[in-house]
Chains A and B, each alone.
Chain A
Amino acid sequence: MIEPTHASIMEPQRISVKFAFVPPVNVPHASFILFFHRVIQDKLLPETLIDVADYSHVHNGPSVLLIGHEAHYSIDATNGQIGLKCAVKRGLTGSLDERIRRTFDKTLHLANLLTKHESLAGGIQVNTKSAWFSIEDRLAAPNTDLTFSHVAPVLASVATRYWGSQPVLSRLGTAKETFQVDISGADGSECRAPTRTLRLV
């Protein structure tokens, strides 16, 4: 009897961005757990955080998760590539452009903390030459060329602001997987959050 919520590719709620770490990663797993606990203890992120989950026993999974209301952050090892993933689950508003930018900002903010935090002793370098982008909503955004044709122009526009020049976008994954795109900076350029775009509160 409730009016159904209609899925729209231009208004997704679940967007993820991941930056891989530069190998080798010589930080013990326990240090990541400690780091995420410190993020909660010291309120290092301006959002509602709930708990830390340890999935290190699962291969190529989220490894360590910082559970939040709006987003989960993880030391993600999907596809065997360890990195920082931010999976926004709810609370995104505005245009697709704004939603993507907010997700990038959140990811880059935590990546910045991660590289500098004392608990990790500078052991992490984030590879910002490329990023993995996903919309985790199979209804609004099945992993098809058509979705790509809708999302790519907006994503390219946002990515250009972060990489400084237009990056290369490549659709990844199978039809069963979520819509996902590899974003690679042209000529090895690196992603940097424009200071003015950091709108985390």
Chain B
Amino acid sequence: MAFLSKGTAMTHKSWKEVLENATDPALASEIDAFETELLLRKQGRIEEKLFAEVRLRRGAYGQRYDNGKRFDGYKTQDIAFPSGGITKGPSTLWDAPGMQRIKIPFGGLFPDQMDVLADLAEEYSDGILHVTTRQDIQLHYVHIDDTPDLMRRLAAIGITTREACGNSVRNVTACPYSGVCKTESFDVTPYAKALAYFLLGHPDTQDFGRKFKIAFSGCRDEACGLTAMHDIGALAVTREVDGKVLRGFELYVGGGLGAVPYQAKLLSDWVPETELLPISQAVCRVFARLGEKKNRARARLKFVIQKLGIEEFKKVVAEERTKLPVDSRWTSFLADLSAAEETPRRDPSLLTISRRPGEFDIWKKTNVRPQRQAGYSVATITLPLGDLTSSQMRALADLARKYVGDNVRATVEQNIVFRWVPDADLPDLYKDLKALHLADPGAGTIVDITACPGTDTCKLGISSSRGLAAELRRDLAAKSAHLDEHVGNLHIKISGCFNACGQHHIADMGFWGVQRKVGGRTVPHFQVVLGGKFEQNAGSNGLAIGAVPSKNIPAVVSRLSTHYAENRTKGERFQDYIDRTGKAKLRALLDDLITVPDNPNYYSDWGDPRVYSIGDLGMGECAGEVVPLAHFGLASAERQVFEGQLLLDQGQANKAAEKAYQAMLVAAEALTRQVFYDVGNSPDEIVREFKKRLCEETTLFHDPFAGDRFSHYLFKVHGSAFTNMELDAAHRRIEEATLFIEAAHACYARMNLPAAAE
């Protein structure tokens, strides 16, 4: 980007052309393919359900009202998007703005990346960047037509949105203090990074029935990694053998929040570092094979483990592990763990007493954490509701360059941390942050509230989680100076519905959105969840004690926190106080707040003056669409034939013919994988296994009328060189490839006939 920002010449090039040499060719090719898929969908040549999953796997998510309906407070209005009936998924109109999720593995950011993220928010979104509870960055109100260029600009700075949504391995998270924490076993960063990129696009992670989440933590007792609520939670541990300290992980599996939370179960108390990737791969393969594909509500890994039992699951994973073909990537990253070590921007130094600006100490108390490395600290930049403007992000990038270099991370508490701040620089950093209005104290305290997007932008939101969070934040920040210290340390987390994206189960006080019909009116409510534990990596899940009108939630927080402050025994933590007091008594404490008074104020939600309604709820996309793996292969084949046609139109006969061959190869692979999952990636192997399993041992590919004619279209060009092609010949290859792919579709339908008949 810098060359453009500082450029002196006018450009009439596209982003694709400008960034061509700055982008990893594989990434560039993926984005080109996605752009073609957009075109094909517009032409109706890809079905909407398949396209929905394609875009979700590129991180392009739907948003509220994208079905073209919105309740305006009086009536439901149609939103007249100009694209008419074109859709980008079931009930999702093409022109409706969407959310772009951007994966940031373990939350690690560089200043140059922060600059580009700021630019993208400004140009394609609404000027706001949102940090999520999975260390992602999200942009809202993005038009689908803008996404290819947006992705190209990210790719040029080493960021991919691939598999940010959909039924895939989501962003791999890790404790933001990894590597600088005083209590960690070791730095989990290189392991998180290695696993994230190993599983990204891996064939074994492409056929999930639901999303899959992975987290890393360096410590057992802190909250940072939240390993207990993940499909795979990796907790760093060490063992001493023959005087040598070995690194490994306690590996937990099958955790998850959602409507019914599950605590992860221990798969193994010792997975050596060399086995982290293969064991994780084996877990993924078991999930792909045994996970539910039809009923999305029971498709997470936790249900596989519930069904099998953890002991049987361990056996199945161990057995799967033995089948894995050796992959050098399992251990290659271990040879250079030091590459992940961070370089401080400045030398360490001590904080001197004389240089402290006003209110600095209040900020330092909650927002600064000394590092293991003497003379350095981690400074937390609290982001209200996880939001910051493009200007703030750009300015933060400059502050990072000034103080910490590349050592910035997004956190699961929706904040940003600067690592390796020399202690003597903390007062200056505070002053610089204050100038940006980013020096609010209270990181990790009761005012640092986590909230999902809720009714603001989510299609499933029932109540305004962000509206409530903003109100509580205002209210508590005003009182913070006088709050009891133990109350100040509580955590509040809010979800707009039961799906728990705001992680309400693991908060001291959690809330999730519901609605109640009262006197003929629909009234926004929140279920009050008490007793969850954020510490010990999301150590326990709370339980709901009753639904309270949204407008009474601030009173709930006030009453519970006051009761806790007044009645806690010495040293008693909130969870213990909840257990000791009992939910019945706590519920009685809130009884009068549960009733909806005769007050119109209660008929609207926080921050939204419209009369409340859930009439315009949409269909959720969180689960994505369950699309069989073969569908992707066949769709990819069709796209490649189309690209071959475009090349032919441009007179590029050799490339067109090669593209036609590749299209057949992709289709053949998709079909072969249906009967032999472990078919390799090499063209020779694909053609050999396709021929053997679909044309010789069986005749699955044979057309009832044309027999084996179509398979020969592939066989005759396999191994050919694509040189000196005439346009006519290339044209025939395109036609043959089209017929081959049609035959592949017919074959796939025949293969699935019994299932379809059921």
Binding site for B on A (CB under 8 A): 1-2, 4-9, 14, 30, 33-34, 37, 40-41, 48-62, 65, 67, 69, 72, 78, 89-90, 136-140, 142-144, 146-147, 150, 175-178
Contact = CB atoms under 8 A, between A and B. Distances in A.
16 contacts: A6-B13, A7-B11, A9-B10, A52-B608, A53-B126, A54-B467, A56-B470, A59-B389, A69-B97, A72-B126, A89-B143, A90-B143, A138-B123, A139-B18, A142-B6, A178-B123
Given A2-B35, A51-B65, A150-B10, A142 B126 contact: no
B342 to A, nearest CB: 25
A58 to B, nearest CB: 5
A60 B74 contact: no
Contact of A57 (B141, B387, B642): B387
Contacts of A7: 11-15
A143 B387 CA distance: 26
A48 B82 contact: yes
B95 interface: yes
Nearest to A36: B609
A175 B438 CA distance: 23
B32 A1 contact: yes
A37 B122 CA distance: 23
- Please indicate which of the listed interface residues A1, A41, A53 has the most CB atoms of chain B within 10 Å of its own CB: A1
A175 B5 contact: yes
Contacts of A78: 389, 391
Interface string B566-598: 000000000000000000000000000000000
A73 B583 CA distance: 47
B73 A60 contact: no
Contacts of B81: 48, 69
Nearest to A42: B72
Contacts of B473: 57
A55 B64 CA distance: 17
B374 interface: no
B39 interface: yes
Q: A-B pairs with the 8 shortest C-beta distances?
A: A4-B14, A59-B437, A57-B384, A61-B389, A1-B643, A4-B16, A175-B5, A41-B72
A9 B4 CA distance: 14
Contacts of A34: 609
B7 interface: yes
B8 interface: yes
A82 B642 CA distance: 50
A2 B391 contact: no
B79 A48 contact: yes
Contacts of A56: 470
Interface in B78-108: 79-82, 95-97
Contact of A65 (B115, B126, B642): B126
Contact of B123 (A2, A14, A33): A14
Nearest to A35: B609
B123 A30 contact: no
A147 B10 contact: yes
Contacts of B72: 37, 40-41
Contact of A58 (B77, B389, B607): B389
B413 interface: no
A144 B7 contact: yes
A144 to B, nearest CB: 6
A62 B10 contact: no
A62 B5 contact: no
A33 B387 CA distance: 19
A69 B95 contact: yes
A143 B198 CA distance: 40
Contacts, number: 153
B12 A8 contact: yes
A67 B646 CA distance: 37
- Please indicate which of the listed interface residues A62, A139, A150, A176 has the most CB atoms of chain B within 10 Å of its own CB: A139
Contact of B391 (A52, A60, A136): A60
B55 to A, nearest CB: 16
Interface string B602-644: 0000011110000000000000000000000000000000110
Contacts of A178: 122-123
Contacts of B457: 53
A34 B607 CA distance: 10
A78 B141 CA distance: 19
Interface in B30-49: 32, 35-36, 39
A51 B64 contact: yes
B12 A57 contact: no
B4 A37 contact: no
B53 interface: no
B267 interface: no
B128 interface: yes
Contacts of A49: 79
B73 A37 contact: yes
Given A8-B12, A69-B95, A89-B143, A62 B126 contact: yes
A55 B387 contact: yes
A138 B73 contact: no
Contacts of A57: 384-385, 387, 470, 473
A2 B97 CA distance: 22
B10 A146 contact: yes
Contact of B610 (A37, A175, A177): A37
A82 B438 CA distance: 19
Contacts of B32: 1-2
Contacts of B95: 69
Contacts of A48: 79-82
B119 interface: yes
- Please indicate which of the listed interface residues A8, A53, A140 has the most CB atoms of chain B within 10 Å of its own CB: A53
A146 B126 contact: no
B387 A138 contact: no
A143 B65 contact: no
Interface string B114-134: 010001001100111000000
A67 B141 contact: yes
B565 interface: no
Given A89-B143, A139-B15, 11 more contacts: A7-B11, A37-B609, A50-B70, A50-B79, A54-B456, A61-B128, A62-B126, A139-B4, A139-B14, A146-B10, A176-B394
B335 interface: no
Interface in B355-401: 384-385, 387-389, 391-392, 394
- Please indicate which of the listed interface residues A40, A59, A147 has the most CB atoms of chain B within 10 Å of its own CB: A59
A37 B470 CA distance: 19
B16 A62 contact: no
B257 to A, nearest CB: 25
Contacts of A140: 11
Contacts of A59: 389, 392, 436-438
A55 B610 CA distance: 17
Nearest to B610: A37
Contacts of A177: 394
A71 B15 CA distance: 22
Contacts of A89: 143
- Please indicate which of the listed interface residues B388, B457, B607 has the most CB atoms of chain A within 10 Å of its own CB: B607
B9 interface: yes
A187 B714 CA distance: 77
Contacts of B608: 33, 52, 54
A40 B77 contact: yes
Contacts of A2: 32, 35-36, 39
A60 B15 contact: no
B65 A6 contact: no
- Please indicate which of the listed interface residues A4, A30, A56, A89 has the most CB atoms of chain B within 10 Å of its own CB: A4
Contacts of B609: 30, 33-34, 37
A48 B80 CA distance: 6
- Please indicate which of the listed interface residues A33, A54, A65, A150 has the most CB atoms of chain B within 10 Å of its own CB: A54
A49 B569 CA distance: 55
Contact of A146 (B8, B80, B97): B8
Contacts of B437: 59-60
